[in-house]
């Protein structure tokens, strides 16, 4: 059953039926903004009678009182939210509602841990776990328009109604393999990261082409990208609308010494932001306090490639032994992070360290096993 919710009172009444877990998804628009514009919140509530279909709430977050009610739901410590690949949903909910759920079960991560495939789409997950083929339908629809069409509502409801059955398939399989605690640790880490909204410390490292710049050029790029992030957030604009990647790289290469020099660089580029040339020159010429610690992007592109390959092979062997999907245990980015620092940071600091440390340090050969 599907129910359209437009206000606080009907939402509170409907949410009273949640006793243990619920499914959650959102629809949002982000093409012209930095922060996603929340347009719809879908909640699936298990039926009180076994065998009955779930109740699906299509909640209009544009209505008054709805945000406070949803925030109360998300802040309950006794409920589990079942979701699928929710990183973008967390941003939308955090910035629009002011809260994200305390406990979650990500079906995409569960499928990867169980070896079904990494980065599995929702459609593929439902087909794999339940044998149901869903239509792509309204993926690129305008979710901010009102009223929504029947087709939009049906599509949105499907995003949460089938998740309940998928959860019922995946959770017991994780428990049978002894992975429940490891999975819970991953979920807690993901939620911590989503709540923190930490800025990237060294944005130049993730920009293709930075490894071709010398240190003074990388410092200029670091200044530009740091400023761009701040301006995009403050003005709620996409990063590349503030300053395109290629423009940032060209300015970093040129290291303009005056506004006239900077303008000459920008004039060679289509749609260059000439109106803010003075601001950009100020950014380019002003060192940041952390530049002394700036990591050299050239070194990051000149890693010991054989060592990286050997570690990737070792991770693959451990993953196969545990039945994980490729890159679930440690992506190339996380392996490179360990190579660069020698430290067990972020996602590698928890249960993964106990699994990977013996093979990363060459002290042991990967063997099959579980967390039990």
Q: How far apart are CA 72 and CA 8, in angstroms?
A: 12
Q: What is the pLDDT of residue 313?
A: 94
Average pLDDT in the 172-186 region? 98
In the prediction, which pLDDT does 139 show?
A: 66
- CATH numeric code, 203-294: 1.10.150.80
Q: Can you tell me the mean pLDDT for 321-343?
A: 91
**How confident is the prediction for the chain on average, in pLDDT?**
92
Domain extents for the chain? 2-196, 203-294, 299-360
Output the pLDDT for position 366.
43
- Of the ranges 49-53, 172-176, 227-231, 288-292, which one carries the lowest mean pLDDT score? 49-53
pTM score, whole prediction: 0.89
At 255-304, the pLDDT tens digits run 999 999 999 999 999 888 999 999 999 999 999 999 999 999 988 766 67
**Of 94, 95, 44, which is closest to residue 74 (Cα–Cα)?**
94
Q: How many percent of the chain have pLDDT more than 70?
A: 96
In terms of pLDDT, which residue wins out, 327 or 301? 327
State the Cα–Cα distance between residues 267 and 277, nearest whole angstrom.
Answer: 11
Nearest to 227 by CA among 256, 219, 262: 219
How far is residue 143's CA from residue 89's CA, in Å, rounded to a whole number?
14
Give the right CATH number for 2-196 from 1.10.10.10, 2.40.50.60, 3.30.420.10, 3.40.50.300: 3.30.420.10
Inter-residue contact 187 to 58 (CB < 8 Å): no
* Residue 316 CB partners (closer than 8 Å, separation 6+): 326
Q: Residue 363 pLDDT more than 60?
A: no
Q: What is the pLDDT of residue 203?
A: 95
Q: Could you read off the pLDDT of 82-130 as tens digits, one per residue?
A: 999 999 999 999 999 999 999 999 999 999 999 999 999 999 999 999 9
Q: Where are the beta strands (DSSP E) in 147-306?
A: none
In this model, does residue 238 exceed pLDDT 90?
A: yes
**Where does the pLDDT of residue 362 fall: very low under 50, low under 70, confident under 90, or very high at 90 and above?**
confident
Paired sense of beta strands 21-29 and 55-59, if any: unpaired
**Is it the case that residue 157 has pLDDT exceeding 50?**
yes
Region of residue 205 (phi > 0: left; psi between -120 and 50: alpha; otherwise: beta): alpha
Question: CB neighbours of 144 closer than 8 A, spacing ≥ 6?
Answer: 29, 37, 39, 62
pLDDT for 356 beyond 90: yes
Q: Which two tokens stand for residue 323?
A: 């039945």
Confidence of residue 1 (pLDDT cuts 50, 70, 90): confident
Model confidence at 340: pLDDT above 90: no
């Amino acid at each position: 059953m599907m129910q359209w919710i437009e206000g606080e009172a009907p939402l509170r009444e409907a949410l009273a039926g949640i006793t243990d877990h619920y499914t959650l998804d959102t629809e949002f628009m982000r093409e012209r903004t930095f922060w996603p514009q929340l347009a719809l919140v879908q909640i699936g509530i298990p039926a009180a009678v076994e065998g009955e279909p779930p109740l699906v709430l299509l909640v209009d977050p544009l209505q008054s009182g709805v945000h406070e009610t949803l925030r109360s739901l998300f802040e309950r410590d006794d409920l589990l939210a079942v979701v699928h690949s929710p990183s973008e949903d967390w941003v939308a909910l955090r910035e629009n509602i002011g809260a994200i759920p305390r406990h979650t079960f990500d079906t995409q991560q569960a499928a990867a841990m169980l070896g079904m495939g990494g980065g599995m789409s929702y459609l593929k997950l439902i087909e794999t776990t339940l044998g149901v083929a869903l239509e792509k339908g309204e993926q690129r629809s305008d979710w901010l328009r009102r009223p929504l069409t029947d087709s939009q509502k049906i599509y949105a409801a499907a995003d949460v109604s089938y998740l309940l059955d998928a959860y019922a398939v995946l959770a017991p399989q994780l428990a049978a393999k002894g992975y429940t605690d490891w999975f819970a640790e991953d979920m807690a880490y993901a939620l911590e990261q989503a709540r923190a909204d930490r800025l990237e410390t060294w944005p130049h490292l993730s920009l293709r082409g930075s490894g071709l710049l010398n240190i003074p050029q990388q410092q200029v790029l670091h200044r530009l990208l740091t400023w761009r992030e701040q301006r995009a957030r403050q003005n709620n604009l996409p990063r590349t609308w503030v300053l395109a990647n290629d423009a940032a790289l060209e300015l970093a290469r040129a290291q303009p010494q005056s506004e006239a020099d900077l303008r000459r660089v920008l004039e060679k580029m289509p749609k260059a932001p000439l109106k803010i040339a003075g601001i950009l020159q100020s950014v380019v010429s002003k060192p940041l306090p952390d530049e002394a610690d700036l990591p050299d992007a050239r070194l990051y592109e000149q890693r010991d490639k054989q060592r990286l390959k050997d570690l990737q092979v070792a991770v693959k062997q451990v993953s196969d032994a545990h039945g994980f999907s490729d890159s679930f245990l440690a992506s190339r980015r996380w392996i490179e992070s360990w190579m660069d620092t020698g430290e067990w940071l972020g996602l590698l600091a928890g249960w993964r360290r106990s699994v990977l440390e013996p093979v990363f340090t060459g002290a042991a050969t990967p063997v099959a096993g579980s967390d039990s």
